């Protein structure tokens, strides 16, 4: 109980120490009371060393020789030789340094605190009597209907059932630009409805929401340790006893206890122990703020060394939603063509039919009298007494519709552009040719250029689509290699081959079929709108499938590793300079050594905190 009480009052003890030291020096310098000066510093030394000694004792109980033990022995040694001035100042500096260290470390974890504060606590739930009642968010179940008003946080993941508005999704995507939401639009917990009123149906609640998973992933990542951190922990475990032995040997050789206890203080590896974790925590925090989830310190190390990135095409480089890209009309006088086309395609749930309906928009429709679906070819229907044939070249040839030289040339051109072909004929005469293809994500090309500037040498697309379409995408985006007609196992085997050739490979994908490749790559990167399996398998998640976050992520991990090395250099450099100063200077003593030691800890922490403000240069 007493130990817990003392450790719980460390900050108050630090404040008492600074008051006692100030009073002691005032009594000596202003009033000339040497005896008062001595006894006040004795009291300060005893009070100050208490929490340090308790921490040293607790570490020894688990067979760890800690920094606290070095400082405790040094303070006791100084006390024995009646150098109470240094013993009091050293305890104050050590405790004050620990206070500043904890405070600045808390700032590096501010991303988690901010995320947690963004979590919604209540929701307006539709009750059995038809009224909306405010309930705790834990009382919301999947399928419940919720009301969200202007300025309120969206409490769960779900979709809009009625109403419309603009939602700030910065907590999920890192982008503060409001996104328009209307019926059937997806919404996420923790985002804010900036204007409008909507009703939503809950699909994911509590920890299962995207927001809940973000918090969980970032917490796990910040608590994980990289190989470098584990090495430094082991190093400190053996280094601290070595400093203890070194001080004993030096003390015996020089017959000078003051040199021995000074070495104990100067040799403390505090900056080395704290330097690497603070860099990793700050890097992970920055990523969380900018829509990039880095799953741990190990990921940062591996990601920074990537030289090859392989991409799935659909849903990664492209939007994953095919749209009408090109169209040729062969009969400009038949004004009913698009009405017939829309009437028939409205009956189909094929992705290409949906793309055509979306492109044609709100258009008058005729009732469809009969339909005949030709497997692998298209559809033949009767509308308003006319025969409508919609499908590919094979279907047109099969039913005897003539494709003249111009039509064949147009078809060849459309296919070369990577389009899926949809032909429409009315009463046996070709009327319109439509080309449909998946659209490349906005600004992908410029972001791929950024990746090259960041040191990624090979950019490869692996797709199950036909080779011609994949080649077209690769050519447009300036990719290094393009491989089409690949099954999921072909992709993972190709990544395995790249790794065997010595490349450090990242794979970017979004679907269940991408999971084997995400798992086998050195770094798996999932698009945030992808499947749960892909997100769970990956090491990095780009929230909201924002491709521009990839360049930020690579720049961030490289900056984090560089920052980590800087901290290691600062920590080791300071210790070597301090130890050298003991033997080659006359100004070095315990107090100055502790001041520099605590200063070095603050330097590495502040250096690490620079990562919180990191942004990729334009």
The catalytic residue positions are: 312
The separation between the first and the last C-alpha atoms of the chain, rounded to the nearest angstrom, is 56
Q: What is the token pair recorded at 250?
A: 């030096």
Q: How far apart are CA 275 and CA 252, in angstroms?
A: 33
With beta carbons less than 8 A apart as the criterion, state whether 73 and 264 touch. Answer: yes
Task: Report phi then psi at 13, rounded to 5.
Answer: -60, -40
Q: How far apart are CA 513 and CA 507, in angstroms?
A: 13
- Which pairs count as long-range contacts for 42-45, CB under 8 Å and 24+ apart, including other chains? 42/79, 42/84, 44/16, 44/17, 44/20, 44/84, 44/88, 44/91, 44/92, 45/75, 45/78, 45/79, 45/84, 45/87, 45/88, 45/91
378 φψ region: left (φ > 0), alpha (ψ -120 to 50), beta (else)? left
Q: How far apart are CA 509 and CA 511, in angstroms?
A: 6
If you write DSSP's letter for every residue of 278-301 in order, what string do you get?
HHHHHHHHHHHHTTEEE--HHHHH
Q: How far apart are CA 311 and CA 420, in angstroms?
A: 22
Q: How far apart are CA 88 and CA 109, in angstroms?
A: 32
**Burial class of 100 by CB neighbour count within 10 A (0 to 12, 13 to 18, 19+):** middle
What is the three-state SS of 432-473? EEEEEECCECCCHHHHHHHHHHCCCCEEEEECCCCHHHHHHH
Q: What angle do CA 548, 512, 460 make, to 5 degrees?
A: 45
Beta bridge partners of 386: 383
């Amino acid at each position: 109980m007493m130990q817990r009480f003392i450790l719980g009052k460390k900050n108050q003890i630090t404040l008492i120490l600074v008051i006692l030291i100030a009073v002691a020096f005032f009594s000596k310098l202003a009033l000339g009371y040497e005896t008062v000066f001595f006894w006040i510093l004795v009291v300060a030394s005893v009070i100050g060393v208490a929490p340090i000694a308790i921490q040293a004792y607790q570490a020894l109980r688990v067979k760890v020789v800690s920094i606290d033990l070095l400082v405790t022995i040094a303070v006791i040694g100084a006390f024995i030789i009646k150098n109470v001035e240094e013993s009091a100042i050293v305890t104050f500096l050590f405790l004050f340094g620990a206070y500043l260290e904890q405070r600045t470390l808390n700032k590096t974890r501010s991303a988690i605190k901010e995320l947690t504060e963004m979590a919604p606590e209540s929701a307006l739930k539709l009750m059995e009597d038809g009224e909306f009642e405010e309930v705790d968010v834990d009382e919301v179940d999947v399928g419940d209907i919720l009301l969200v008003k202007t300025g309120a946080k969206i409490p769960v993941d779900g979709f809009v059932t009625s109403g419309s508005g603009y939602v700030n999704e910065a907590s999920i995507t890192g982008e503060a630009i409001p996104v328009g939401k209307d019926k059937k639009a997806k919404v996420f917990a923790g985002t804010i409805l900036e204007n409008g009123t909507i009703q939503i149906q809950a699909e994911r609640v509590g920890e299962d929401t995207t927001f809940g998973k973000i918090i969980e992933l970032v917490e796990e990542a910040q608590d994980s340790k990289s190989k470098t951190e584990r090495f430094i922990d082991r190093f400190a475990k053996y280094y601290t006893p070595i400093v203890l032995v070194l001080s004993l040997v030096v003390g015996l050789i020089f017959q000078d206890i003051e040199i021995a206890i000074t070495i104990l203080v100067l040799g403390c590896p505090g900056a080395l122990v704290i330097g690497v974790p603070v860099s990793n925590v700050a890097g992970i925090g920055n990523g969380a703020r900018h829509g990039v989830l880095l799953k741990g310190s190990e990921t940062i190390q591996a990601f920074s060394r990537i030289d090859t990135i392989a991409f799935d095409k659909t849903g990664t480089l492209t939007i994953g939603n095919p749209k009408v890209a090109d169209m040729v009309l062969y009969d400009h006088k038949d004004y009913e063509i698009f009405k017939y086309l829309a009437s028939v395609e409205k009956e189909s749930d094929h992705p290409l039919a949906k793309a055509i309906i979306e492109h044609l928009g709100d258009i008058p429709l005729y009732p469809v009298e009969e339909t005949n679906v030709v497997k692998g070819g298209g559809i033949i229907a009767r509308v308003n007494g006319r025969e409508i044939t919609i499908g590919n070249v094979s279907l047109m040839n099969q039913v005897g519709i003539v494709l003249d030289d111009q039509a064949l040339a147009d078809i060849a051109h459309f296919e070369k552009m990577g389009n899926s072909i949809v032909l429409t004929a009315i009463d046996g005469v070709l009327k319109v040719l439509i080309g449909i293809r998946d659209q490349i994500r906005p600004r992908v090309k410029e972001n791929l250029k950024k990746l090259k500037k960041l040191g990624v040498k090979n950019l490869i697309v692996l797709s199950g689509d036909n080779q011609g379409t994949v080649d077209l995408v690769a050519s447009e985006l300036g990719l290094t290699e393009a491989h089409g007609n690949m099954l999921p196992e072909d992709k993972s085997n190709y990544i395995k081959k790249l790794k065997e050739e010595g490349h450090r490979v990242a794979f970017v994908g979004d679907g269940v079929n991408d999971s084997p490749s995400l798992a086998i790559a050195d770094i798996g990167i999932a698009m945030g709108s992808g499947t749960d399996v892909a997100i769970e398998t990956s090491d990095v998640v780009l929230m909201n499938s924002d491709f521009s976050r990839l360049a930020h992520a690579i720049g961030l991990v490289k900056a984090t590793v560089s920052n980590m090395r800087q901290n290691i250099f600062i920590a080791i450099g300071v210790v070597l300079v301090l130890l050298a100063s003991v033997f080659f200077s006359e100004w070095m003593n315990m107090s100055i050594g502790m001041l520099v030691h605590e200063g070095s800890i603050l330097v590495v922490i502040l250096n690490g905190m620079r990562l919180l403000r990191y942004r990729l240069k334009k």
